[in-house]
Amino acid sequence: MSKNKIEELREKRAEAQLGGGAKGIDAQHKRGKLTARERIDLLLDQGTFEEMDIFVRHQCRDFGIDKQRYYTDGVVTGTGKIEGRPVCVFSQDFTILGGSLSEAYARKITKIMDLAMKNGLPVIGINDSGGARIQEGVLSLAGYADIFLRNTLASGVVPQISAVVGPCAGGAVYSPAITDFIFMVDKISHMFITGPNVIKAVTNEDVTFDELGGAMAHATKSGVSHFTCENEADCFIKIRKLVTYLPSNNMEIAPVYDYEHPEPDLEELNNYVPDNPNKPYDMKELINKIIDPDSFFEIHKEYAENIIVGFARIQGRTIGIVANQPLVLAGVLDLNSSIKGARFVRFCDAFNIPLLVLEDVPGFLPGTDQEWRGVIRHGAKLLYAFCEATVPKITVIIRKAYGGAYDVMNSKHVRGDVNLAWPSAEIAVMGAKGAAEIIFKKDIVNAEDKQAVLDEKISEFTNKFANPYIAAERGFIDDVIEPKDTRKKLIYYFDLIQNKVDYNPRRKHGNIPL
């Protein structure tokens, strides 16, 4: 082949790799953002990126856009590896027409998604875009719809991860929203349906970009985002870490890592739970004691902190943890924590990740606010999610398992495979005081010393029900264990049930109460 043809290829490639050009790259850096290619470099194992469709250009002729036909058309797509495992990736390039989405651009994304689906590979989308390319009108809207369809069809088949590292406005937010995990970066990420200017015009409300749709707003208020990152480097380190916990598709199990450490002495756990049932303790600290060291990877950390969800490893194998947090609202279940828990349980179930439930829950949060906002409907999501999950499921009741929450949190009755309890477990319809006030109401009202009778009845109720043995007598609890043996039992049982097979009835799909 002539030297000229090779040179021509190299020149075209070099031009394409400049995206919107040096000026655009400079402007991108001035905005405090990395370029599409710098992001891919941070995401993937060094030197593993293989680009596709680098020479794609749009075919639009309207509004003078035919003078701006950049190679790649504003999105870099391809494949590469994370910790040696292949993934598909697209990275939107803000330096080309603000990363706006055209027909050709959408085709590049759907092509890479189809490749991911057919070959069982995770898809990681890096979003930084002004949304639909205005000059292309309905072609751009159609492109979005093609992506939304694939996001939906890929859901539960391959993991889908979104990094939002720039603006993400209008309908464009709905592609990340359908994916499994959203990462946002403080200060540079924004997601909203309509921006501050439109809001001001329509509702006269003053709100900044950050307040409306910044990383913290979506981490703490809306729950749209799962991870808040300090900067872009932190974001891509976190995505790489997340991928290590996940299988590449729903037909595989997550990678198992070598684990050769001496088993810890957990004698201290026998005195871990405070004697006073109303005194809180930190469930995260407990989690970290019983899993492989430093393996906890928390999701939705800043949202509904009364429940904790995240991945961890037990002797090198991935598990998903759902745990009540007594430090926040006494670990009560409410609307947001139910949704957070349900979403995580369903992800684990879809991707063959065994579940561990650590339970200390005083019930569902009462009150008009919760009732009117639909705690019945949303609480039912968590119940539904645990009921339908067929992955290996272990529960350890640490302290309170009150009321409906006992049923919900992977009880034996909803197909918990192994249900263990610490001796500190209290399994009852409700707390002792509330129960005594209801069932001994007459005795208390008629007593001369009401407080004395109430105290006596509380103590009677506590002695009878505030323990795990009535449930254990019925086999609802498989064993009451010494807390110091918890890790040992988890290692044993997760190994025992790793090949569990269970089914749900054949149907098109269930109807989870949305």
Q: Name residue 321's beta-bridge partners.
A: 310, 356
**Count of positions on this chain that bind ligand HXC (CB under 6 A):** 15
Minimum Å gap between C-beta 512 and ligand HXC is 24
Rounded CA gap, 420 and 482, in Å? 10
Minimum Å gap between C-beta 58 and ligand HXC is 11
Q: Which residues contact 149 (CB under 8 A, 6 or more apart)?
A: none
How many Cβ atoms sit within 10 Å of the Cβ of residue 311? 24
DSSP per residue, 327-395: TTGGG-B-HHHHHHHHHHHHHHHHTT--EEEEEEE--BPPSHHHHHTTHHHHHHHHHHHHHH--S-EEE
Largest CA distance in the chain: 107
Q: Which is nearer to ligand HXC, 63 or 492 (CB)?
A: 63
Catalytic residue among 405, 425, 428, 436: 405
Q: Is 363 a catalytic residue?
A: no
Catalytic residue among 19, 170, 310, 341: 170
Minimum Å gap between C-beta 36 and ligand HXC is 14
**Stretch of residues binding ligand HXC (CB under 6 A), selected from 157-165, 169-177, 341-349, 495-503:** 169-177
Q: How deeply is 424 buried, as exposed, middle or buried, from its count of CB atoms within 10 A (0-12, 13-18, 19+)?
A: buried
- Using alpha carbons, list the distances in angstroms from residue 422 to 264, 406, 467: 19, 15, 9
Q: Angle CA(153)–CA(193)–CA(204) in degrees, nearest 5?
A: 165
Q: Which residues contact 11 (CB under 8 A, 6 or more apart)?
A: none
Q: Does 167 engage in binding with ligand HXC (CB under 6 A)? A: yes
The correct pick among 36, 169, 304, 401 for binding ligand HXC (CB under 6 A) is 169
**Stretch of residues binding ligand HXC (CB under 6 A), selected from 92-100, 291-299, 390-398, 489-497:** 92-100
Minimum Å gap between C-beta 69 and ligand HXC is 13
Q: 126-145 mask for ligand HXC (x: CB under 6 A)?
A: ----xxxxx------x--x-
Q: Which is nearer to ligand HXC, 101 or 287 (CB)?
A: 101
- At 174 the three-state DSSP class reads helix
Q: Is 213 a catalytic residue?
A: no
The correct pick among 172, 314, 330, 428 for binding ligand HXC (CB under 6 A) is 172
Please give the DSSP secondary-structure letter assigned to residue 498. T
Rounded CA gap, 308 and 406, in Å? 17
Minimum Å gap between C-beta 147 and ligand HXC is 9
Q: Which is nearer to ligand HXC, 162 or 462 (CB)?
A: 162
Q: Name residue 192's beta-bridge partners.
A: 169
Q: Is 171 a catalytic residue?
A: yes
**Stretch of residues binding ligand HXC (CB under 6 A), selected from 8-16, 162-170, 434-442, 446-454:** 162-170
Catalytic residue among 171, 195, 223, 316: 171
**Stretch of residues binding ligand HXC (CB under 6 A), selected from 166-174, 358-366, 430-438, 478-486:** 166-174
**Stretch of residues binding ligand HXC (CB under 6 A), selected from 95-103, 322-330, 363-371, 408-416:** 95-103
The correct pick among 78, 125, 170, 483 for binding ligand HXC (CB under 6 A) is 170
Q: Which is nearer to ligand HXC, 141 or 454 (CB)?
A: 141
Rounded CA gap, 385 and 349, in Å? 9
Query: Residue type at 308?
Result: I
**Stretch of residues binding ligand HXC (CB under 6 A), selected from 155-163, 164-172, 243-251, 488-496:** 164-172
Pairing type for strands 85-92 and 75-82 reads antiparallel
Q: Which is nearer to ligand HXC, 68 or 250 (CB)?
A: 68
Q: Is 74 left (phi over 0), alpha (psi -120 to 50) or beta?
A: left
Pairing type for strands 50-52 and 85-92 reads unpaired
Rounded CA gap, 301 and 332, in Å? 16
Catalytic residue among 156, 223, 316, 404: 404
Pairing type for strands 393-402 and 317-324 reads unpaired
Q: Is 170 a catalytic residue?
A: yes
Q: Which is nearer to ligand HXC, 56 or 172 (CB)?
A: 172
Q: Does 97 engage in binding with ligand HXC (CB under 6 A)? A: yes
Q: Which is nearer to ligand HXC, 194 or 220 (CB)?
A: 194
Minimum Å gap between C-beta 142 and ligand HXC is 10
Rounded CA gap, 169 and 333, in Å? 32
Q: Which is nearer to ligand HXC, 149 or 376 (CB)?
A: 149
Q: What residues act catalytically?
A: 170-171, 404-405
Residues in contact with ligand HXC by CB under 6 A are 97-98, 100, 130-134, 141, 144, 167, 169-172
